[in-house]
Structures are given as C-alpha cells and as structure tokens.
Chain A
Amino acid sequence: MLMTTPRLLILRLFNVTFGRIGPINRAFRKALVRGLIQSKKPGERYVASSRFFDPREL
C-alpha cells in the first residue's frame, strides 16, 4: 500500500494527537501489522523489493 496524501494527513494527525500516548501507539501499530500483513495470504502479499543493485541483473 503506497502512501497517499489523505493517508499521510490522517496518519500525521493521529501521530501528533492520540499517537503520543504509548499504549494507543503500540495498539495502532499492531493493528496495522495485522491488517496489512498478517491477514493476507502469502500469495496476496505485495511487498516492494528492498533489493539494491546486483550485477547479475545485467
């Protein structure tokens, strides 16, 4: 899921309000991991490659 302007605005608004509170912050992070990663089947998960350059790609 790419970052968009509305998502960024909502996230920042949360970060500087309720996100200041440790337990809420941690619960939010857990919910994100569950919703974006763990709930998806392995084949449905799209994770951007974090690979850097490898000469074997040439």
Chain B
Amino acid sequence: MLAQIAVNSVPRALGLCDRDKHSPTYGCVDRAYWNYRTTDMANARMQEGGLLFAMAWRQTGVGANMFAGKKVMDEWARAAWRFWLSRRNGDGSVNEVYPFERSFCATSFSAAAFVETLLLAGGAKEWEKEITQARNTMEWLCENRNPDVANQMAASALALKGYSVITGDRRFLLAAERRRDEVLKSAYEDGIFGEYGGLDVGYQTITMSSMARYMVIGGGDTAVEEALMKGEKLVNERLDEMGRPDSAQNSRNTQFVYPYALALLKSDSMERIMAGLKVSASLNPAWMDDRYFTPLAIDYIFAEACL
C-alpha cells in the first residue's frame, strides 16, 4: 500500500518537471521557476523528484505502476540531476529560498537523494560524469554542518556515506563516519534526536530514516541500530491509534511520519500507521505541498520494501 500511494504521486512530480528536451530548463522540477516564472531561482530540493522517478522506474512490485521498466523515467531522473548539478553555487552547495543561500538543509537532502539515485540506477559506471561533477558538493558537506538540527546532519551523513560507497573514496567515508558520530552523540539518553533543542516526532522519523539508510548502505552498524531502536520506542509511544503524532507536542509542530526506519525495525507502530492510511485518517504525500510530498513518497517506497 505504501508504494502504491507513492507511485500515485509520481504523475504530480512529473507535472512539476520540465520534460521538454529543447527547453533551457529541461529537468527542472520547480514549475514556479521554469513555467510560471514567479521566482528568480529554482528550489534545489525540488530536484529530489529525480530519485522518485528512478524509484518508480525500478519499482516492479507495485500492483498498478505504469512507470515500471519505462526507460524514459531514467532519462527524466538523469535530467533532474543534471539540472541540479548545473544550478549549484561555485562551492558545490545549493539554494532553496534565495540566491547564494548555501543551504545546509537543501544541500544535505538533495545530495543524499542524488547518491540514492546513483545507487539505484547503475552506480559509478552509468553516471561517471555526474559523480565527478558532484564531488565539490560532497566536499562542501564535509566542511559544513548544522548541529542544532539532527535531521539535516543525518542527511549529510547519508550523502557522504553513499558517495563513499559509489566512489570508494576513503576521505568521504571518514567524513561520513565523523558526521554519524556527531548525530549519535547529539542524541539524548532516551533516544531523542534534537530539533532545535527538543523532540519533534516528524523530524525524529526523518532523522531515523536517513540513519537507517546510512546503516543499510554501509552493510550494518550496531551503534546506529541501537540509537534507532531507542528512537523507535519513543516514536511508538507517541503515535495514536491511526499512527498520527500530536503535532502540538512537537518542537516543530509536524504532522507527518516517515515510516522507513519504523518498517525496517519491524515497529509495532507500523500497524497503526497502515490503519491510518487505509482509512485516510493520516497525512500522506498526496496531502502535502509541492515542496514536501516528494521526500515522503520516496520514504514510502523504501518502507514498502521492508514490509
């Protein structure tokens, strides 16, 4: 069911993407920029649609997936990432809201989605040029951090880890491990990954998803697994019978739940999350805005593979 919900959102993501090969903004997934021209720059996070396209292409286990095995999905994924590569700042960072922002959040998450696409769609051999081009983005992530926000730190760890797996470059592996250590050290005794000094169940699950992907890509990590199990217990206690958090109790008032790590850990909460989705009682990608539905849909596909 999770993957089906995610796949159902793919036409929306494709509709946001400039798919005209002759267009100067081919591959841009920010329609406000390339079509409506209401903004002077494209939001780099929208390019995470590239991973969703690649996943829909590879996702063969879903009942009604018209995108499975369609080569054009791979082309659109590549176009999305080429646009992302072309619109970075000189130092490799990317912008989300304003020019020359050098957003740690957008650089971490979009770079993580970029490496996940590479891992899914052929790795080093198929994407050699793009991998080389992305190197300075990874170098920028090595040098920059935002310790106040665990989810962004976890995404940067995932990006660096994935890039080290693809390239075999030890420098990025060491940087990924340092970043992972920072995330684990910053976690509170009871399993909270801090979001501006407090617990936010929604962002807790984003951090857990990134750390779970970090663990899986690396072939296992006992310390990460222990931290995730603590985190799972905490989330499990805070979801209601429909798998919803109490947003008023969250430090950032989130309503969403990223289920991948919970599914991976076989959390009891998954039963409630699925029950909530089944009766349309809980937030799902279709209810979210253009900016945030894609990452949640991606997480749903990762989660489905663990059920």
Shortest CB-to-CB span from A48 to chain B, Å, is 5
Residues of chain A within 8 A (CB-CB) of B222 are none
**When chains A and B are docked, how far (Å) is the Cα of A1 from the Cα of B20?**
16
Binding site for A on B (CB under 8 A): 10-12, 14-15, 18-20, 23-25, 33-35, 37-41, 66-67, 70, 72-73, 99
A interface secondary structure, majority: loop
Residues of chain A within 8 A (CB-CB) of B66 are 55, 58
**A44 proximal to B (CB < 8 A):** no
Give the residue of B14, B33, B40, B70 whose beta carbon is less than 8 angstroms from that of A53.
Answer: B14
B interface secondary structure, majority: loop
Judging by beta carbons under 8 Å apart, are A58 and B72 in contact?
A: yes
Shortest CB-to-CB span from A20 to chain B, Å, is 20
Chain A: CB-nearest residue to B99: A5
Residues of chain A within 8 A (CB-CB) of B37 are 1-3, 48
Judging by beta carbons under 8 Å apart, are B14 and A48 in contact?
A: no
**When chains A and B are docked, how far (Å) is the Cα of A57 from the Cα of B18?**
13
Judging by beta carbons under 8 Å apart, are B24 and A2 in contact?
A: yes
Give the residue of A4, A7, A49, A58 whose beta carbon is less than 8 angstroms from that of B23.
Answer: A49
Judging by beta carbons under 8 Å apart, are B41 and A5 in contact?
A: yes
Interface size on A, residues (CB 8 A): 16
Judging by beta carbons under 8 Å apart, are B40 and A4 in contact?
A: yes
Judging by beta carbons under 8 Å apart, are B39 and A3 in contact?
A: yes
6 residue pairs bridging A and B, Cβ less than 8 Å apart: A3-B38, A48-B20, A48-B23, A50-B35, A53-B10, A58-B70
Chain A: CB-nearest residue to B13: A53
Chain A: CB-nearest residue to B71: A58
**When chains A and B are docked, how far (Å) is the Cα of A46 from the Cα of B34?**
12
Give the residue of B14, B24, B35, B40 whose beta carbon is less than 8 angstroms from that of A7.
Answer: B40
**When chains A and B are docked, how far (Å) is the Cα of A5 from the Cα of B98?**
9
Give the residue of A7, A48, A52, A57 whose beta carbon is less than 8 angstroms from that of B34.
Answer: A48
